[in-house]
């Protein structure tokens, strides 16, 4: 393990961690070492927060919104210019298929394009008040924003959180996941190349329990964005609460796809399969439950199994339907769910196939369809975060709604029906942040507010709503009598 690696970026300069520690990075496709990153600690977080504060109170705080937007737009173009290089890094680091990595990088560029254009359009408002008074509401940046992001979509998460925060006028300290952050390091280099001022973007690589914990509990930050598990999200929020720091938390899901007997089956099938195998099921919004009206259950499940059986799993370079999961730990976790399901007598209805490129030293799990699964079973309640789809029959609309809302999560839902009235009834009653009707997901969904209910977290990312999260409203009352 190298002790001279420099992947910490503070105040415009690259350095190694305080103390010189490093962390090996493994390729999920074959388990081989592909380098190392700095093992950042609390002292590195202290330095990063101090640099961000100085930039917020100085150069970035004095940069006009239009100029912030131009810098972000320039970075979006630079990302597009380096798209293939970034996609190769992303695929190697996460194990995802090349076609998905390319899509992710395109979405990353789009985030900077979108928020670059939005930076000077975050307007205030006026409030009618007493005669002789003028009341203004202006939106101001929160200050120093801390970002702790996951390993499943590192490039996209960089764009999703950093672009919005910078567009709103904040400065940032980013702690990426130790399992996958090579694309983020390169993206940070590109940000430096286009002229993002020193201290505006700071990156501290390292372990969550060290660098991440130090950031979430730091008294010098003004806002915190976290994406990850509900368990870690709880720790993050408690740590931030000690300093009265507000948070946006995106904590996963157990999202249902509800298929009624009047659904367009041929339209639904490929989308439902795609929603569970994308990124090998390691997606917070994965459609991991398919609720099927009992009158079509057997027929629909048979057609779904046929498609699952055709799914091919291999290395990122093979560019198949699925790659490996991120690590040996995650592989064991997903396999544990499958082993317990087998012990409980739950039937495997369909299962994908491993390609020759899926070597034994890699972290591979076959995409699996199981059913019927009782709605109270752990497979129907817990986030597996792998390519595991459970089929659950329902009787009628009321039954479907009860089952769909019957978990601790509430992120996304899909409704498959040609009945317009039913579509709207369910869409309004589902306790989720996004509802898709006769579809599921929308690419990167850059413009679409995203977030959940219950254990899926709170606050909203993406779209214009994210800019509101990264700002505070200030009321100004002018007496002109």
Spatial contact of 169 and 60, defined as CB atoms under 8 Å apart:
yes
Question: Which is the catalytic residue, given 113, 178, 210, 250?
Answer: 250
- Pair type for strands 33-38 and 125-127: unpaired
CA dihedral 320, 325, 327, 333 (to 10 degrees): -150
Q: Which residue has the tokens 């040996």?
A: 328
Supply 433's token pair: 């942040």
Picking from 336, 392, 395, 326, the residue whose alpha carbon sits closest to that of residue 363 is 326
CB burial readout 347-373, b (16+ within 10 A) else e: eebbbbbbbebbbeebbbbbbbbbbbb
Please state, as a whole number, how many other Cβ atoms lie within 10 Å of the Cβ of residue 11. Answer: 17
Going by C-beta distance under 8 Å and a sequence separation of 6 or more, which residues neighbour residue 19?
A: 39, 41, 43
Measured CA to CA, the distance from residue 250 to residue 460 in angstroms comes to: 8
Measured CA to CA, the distance from residue 361 to residue 364 in angstroms comes to: 9
Q: Is 57 a residue of the active site? A: no
Spatial contact of 7 and 175, defined as CB atoms under 8 Å apart:
no
Catalytic residues: 250
């Amino acid at each position: 393990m190298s002790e001279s690696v420099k992947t910490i970026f503070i105040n415009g300069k690259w350095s190694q961690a305080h103390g010189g520690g490093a962390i090996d990075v493994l390729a999920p496709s074959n388990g081989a070492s592909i380098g190392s990153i700095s093992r950042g600690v609390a002292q590195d977080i202290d330095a990063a927060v101090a640099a961000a504060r100085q930039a917020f109170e100085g150069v970035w705080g004095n940069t006009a919104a239009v100029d912030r937007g131009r810098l972000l737009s320039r970075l979006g173009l630079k990302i597009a210019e380096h798209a293939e290089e970034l996609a190769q890094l992303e695929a190697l680091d996460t194990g995802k298929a090349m076609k998905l990595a390319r899509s992710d990088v395109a979405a990353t560029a789009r985030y900077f394009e979108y928020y670059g254009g939005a930076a000077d359009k975050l307007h205030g408002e006026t409030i009618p008040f007493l005669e002789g008074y003028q009341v203004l509401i202006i939106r101001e940046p929160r200050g120093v924003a801390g970002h702790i992001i996951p390993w499943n979509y590192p490039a996209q998460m960089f764009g999703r959180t950093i672009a919005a925060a910078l567009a709103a006028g904040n400065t940032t300290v980013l702690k990426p996941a130790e399992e996958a952050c090579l694309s983020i390091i390169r993206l940070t280099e590109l940000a430096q190349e286009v002229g993002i001022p020193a201290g505006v973007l700071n990156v501290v690589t390292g372990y969550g329990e060290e660098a991440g914990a130090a950031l979430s509990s730091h008294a010098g930050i003004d806002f915190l964005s976290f994406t990850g598990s509900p368990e870690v999200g709880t720790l993050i929020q408690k740590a931030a609460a000690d300093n009265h720091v507000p948070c946006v938390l995106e904590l996963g899901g157990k999202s249902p796809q509800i298929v009624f007997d009047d659904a367009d089956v041929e339209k639904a099938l490929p989308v439902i399969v795609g929603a569970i195998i994308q990124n090998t099921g390691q997606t917070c919004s994965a459609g991991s439950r398919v609720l099927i009206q009992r009158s079509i259950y057997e027929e629909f499940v048979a057609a779904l199994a046929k498609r699952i059986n055709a799914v091919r799993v291999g290395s990122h370079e093979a560019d198949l339907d699925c790659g490996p999961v991120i690590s040996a730990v995650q592989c064991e976790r997903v396999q544990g769910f499958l082993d317990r399901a087998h012990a409980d007598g739950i039937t495997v209805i369909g299962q994908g196939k491993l390609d020759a490129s899926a070597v034994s030293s890699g972290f591979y799990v076959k995409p699996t369809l199981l059913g019927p699964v009782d709605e109270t079973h752990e497979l129907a309640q817990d986030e597996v975060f792998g390519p595991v789809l459970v089929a659950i029959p329902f009787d009628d609309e009321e039954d479907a709604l009860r089952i769909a809302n019957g978990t601790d999560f509430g992120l996304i839902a899909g409704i498959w029906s040609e009945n317009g009235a039913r579509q709207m009834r369910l869409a309004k009653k589902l306790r989720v942040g996004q509802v898709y009707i006769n579809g599921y997901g929308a690419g990167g969904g850059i413009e679409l507010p995203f977030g959940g209910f219950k254990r899926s977290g709170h606050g909203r990312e993406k779209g214009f709503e994210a800019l509101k999260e990264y700002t505070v409203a200030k009321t100004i009352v002018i007496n002109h009598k």
